[in-house]
Every structure is written in C-alpha cells, then in structure tokens.
Amino acid sequence: MDAFDIATAAGLLGRREEAQVQLHALAKINPEMLNPEYARPASSRWVWYGDLIDLRVDGLQKALALAGVESTPADGDGADSPLLPD
C-alpha cells in the first residue's frame, strides 16, 4: 500500500490522525494526488473498475476534510500545501 491508499482508507474509516499523516506523506511524494480532480483520472490508469475509483476518490475527499484541507495543490512540489509545516 502507498500513502494514497492508506489516506483514502483512513478517510473512509474516519481516522483523522492516520489521514493527516498519509496526506502529509503524499504531499511530499506527489502533491497533485491531493487534488481529487487529478486523482480520479490518475487512478484510472491502474484501477479499471469505476466503482472502486469512485470509492478511492470519496476516501480522498473524506481524508482531506478530516485533515481540514479545503483546497489542494493542482501542481507544484507541495511546498504550499497546508499539510506541510512552514
């Protein structure tokens, strides 16, 4: 499992602390994946079952909400991410 998978699972399970930790890790690895509009088509490259893609994006949105993140970086290195310390 990678940070995206764990973050989405944590979001679906309502586990705030785990969601925050994995979103923070994901912001360092691939900040674009914090944007649900980017994550959906990116996920469809390796997950072909539409309902599973929907579930993953739903989990991401819930994880972001649990972490208190309203906007996510669409591109860049994640340096502006509210998940990363100043």
Judge whether 86 lies within some domain. Answer: no
Judge whether 13 lies within some domain. Answer: yes
- pLDDT tens by residue, 15-34: 999 999 999 999 999 999 99
The pLDDT score that the predictor gives to residue 85 is: 47
CB 63 within 8 A of CB 10: yes
Total structural domains within the chain: 1
pTM higher than the cut 0.85? no
CB 66 within 8 A of CB 11: yes
Judge whether 81 lies within some domain. Answer: no
Domain, as residue range, for 54? 3-66
Judge whether 75 lies within some domain. Answer: no
Judge whether 74 lies within some domain. Answer: no
The pLDDT score that the predictor gives to residue 31 is: 94
The band of 86, judged by pLDDT with boundaries at 50, 70 and 90, is very low
CB 28 within 8 A of CB 74: no
Mean of pLDDT over the chain: 86
- H/E stretch holding 27: helix 16-29
